[in-house]
Structure 1
Amino acid sequence: MNKAAIDDIYRPVSAIIVRRYKFNRNRTELSYMLVQKPRKSHAWQFPQGGQDQEETGAEAALRELREECGSDLKVSLVDTIPIGIYQYKFPRKRTDGYIGAKVSFFRADYLFGQCQPDGKEIIDYEWLIREKIDEYVHPEYKEALKSVFF
């Protein structure tokens, strides 16, 4: 199957990795924001969602962050091209024609504000250091993140 055909059957999705620097006296601590979806499995992930036809991946990542966390949270986009890709198949047949998703990851630096979960798409969030993320995410997602955290 050629690349164009694969792109047609995998839904384009953009994820945003929001990182926050905390400067302490002796070191700089870096944490990342994960959000919790209202489901039993695969609940914790970076804010993400489907890319609309007229927008770039980076634009979709910023829009999804705004939709899921509200407009109070301000970030500065670091990447305009993906720093990593995670492709997976959906667990069951869907009616939209897609058999899976192709998630593109973009980074952003936290500026100010708070994530205010909408209670529908997102029910909670956490700021976590890199080592703690593995405890929250599904093993397949964790594996995909290896290419993102160099």
Structure 2
Amino acid sequence: MLRRQLSNIPNNNFLIRFNSTTGKEKWDLLTAVCIERKPQIVPDLTGIQKEFNDQLKSVEFEKSWKSAHEIRHERDVKQMELLKKGDIESDLALKQTAQDFVDMSSDELNKFQFGSVVTEADNKKDIKSTLRKLNKNLVLVTQTKIGDKNFYLLPQGMRNDGETLRQTADRVIKEQLGTELKTQIYGNAPIGFYKYKYPKEAQNASVGAKVFIYFASHNGGVINEKVNHMWLDRTELQKELPEKYHKAVQMFLIDE
């Protein structure tokens, strides 16, 4: 519901004037960025996707015209029949038939070795590398300290006065992840929302944080090596993120 409401707002000026108090409680306004690395190779098809793909191939084959190769093969068969009957001279027979071409191509394909989809990062179980699990969507999480405990969450930062939430998102990426990381944030409005209360010992002027989440894609580059981070797939993300926080993030991620 919040996502639909935010998307209908004509501009993002409201973000500067957003009231961070609820009743007598004061909340900090934060912006988080969900940076996703898209699959680098075609993901494996699910069962229903394979069935649908086979159905499409069947329909396409039934409605398609004969290819030049099929017409050539039919002509070759007729010539071979005429050759057996002696109706044509043997020197007029084709030197290479369409079937010969198929056999040669099949032999060449059988000898071809496909490259492995398992990378060095996979073998080393390097969770900091974007070169792992090339057929999966990976989401970036960084270590964040809340109170006296450390959590792995989406990169996030406090909004400064006079700053829009979108501007905060851009600043969070540069300040926390480094200037060499290339990303593309989609839109000026948040795509997700989450709020949490600070531990009692950490509640000073504010009781907690309201986090507005933006969505971005990873377009290359590297993260500052000093940043403690991980690139996680959907299953790993569910195990690593706090349960309620994960539910808020899961709402705008496409299931695999």
TM-score range, shorter chain: 0.7 to 0.9
d(CA) in 1 for partners of 2:203, 2:192: 25
Matched, 1:63 2:176: no
Asked if structure 2 preserves the Cα contact closer than 8 Å seen for 1:68 and 1:117, the reply is no
In percent, how many aligned pairs have the same letter? 22
CA apart distance, 1:117 = 4.8
d(CA) in 2 for partners of 1:144, 1:109: 18
User: What is the RMSD computed on CA atoms of the aligned residues?
Assistant: 2.4
Matched, 1:130 2:237: no
Larger Rg: 1 or 2?
Answer: 2
Selected match of 1:19 from 25, 31, 36: 36
One-letter amino acid matched to 1:15: A
Matched, 1:6 2:22: yes
d(CA) in 2 for partners of 1:64, 1:26: 31
Greater helix share, structure number: 2
Unmatched 5+ residue regions in structure 1?
Answer: none
TM-score (norm 2): 0.50
The aligned residue for residue 94 of structure 1 is 203
CA apart distance, 1:125 = 1.0
d(CA) in 1 for partners of 2:249, 2:38: 19
Selected match of 2:213 from 97, 105, 109: 105
CA apart distance, 1:22 = 2.5
Asked if structure 2 preserves the Cα contact closer than 8 Å seen for 1:42 and 1:138, the reply is no
Asked if structure 1 preserves the Cα contact closer than 8 Å seen for 2:30 and 2:156, the reply is yes
CA apart distance, 1:86 = 0.5
d(CA) in 1 for partners of 2:247, 2:184: 26
CA apart distance, 1:35 = 0.8
CA apart distance, 1:111 = 1.1
Greater strand share, structure number: 1
CA apart distance, 1:79 = 2.7
After superposition, the Cα gap between the structure-2 partners of 1:42 and 1:147, relative to the gap in structure 1 and judged at 3 Å, is: farther
The aligned residue for residue 43 of structure 1 is 151
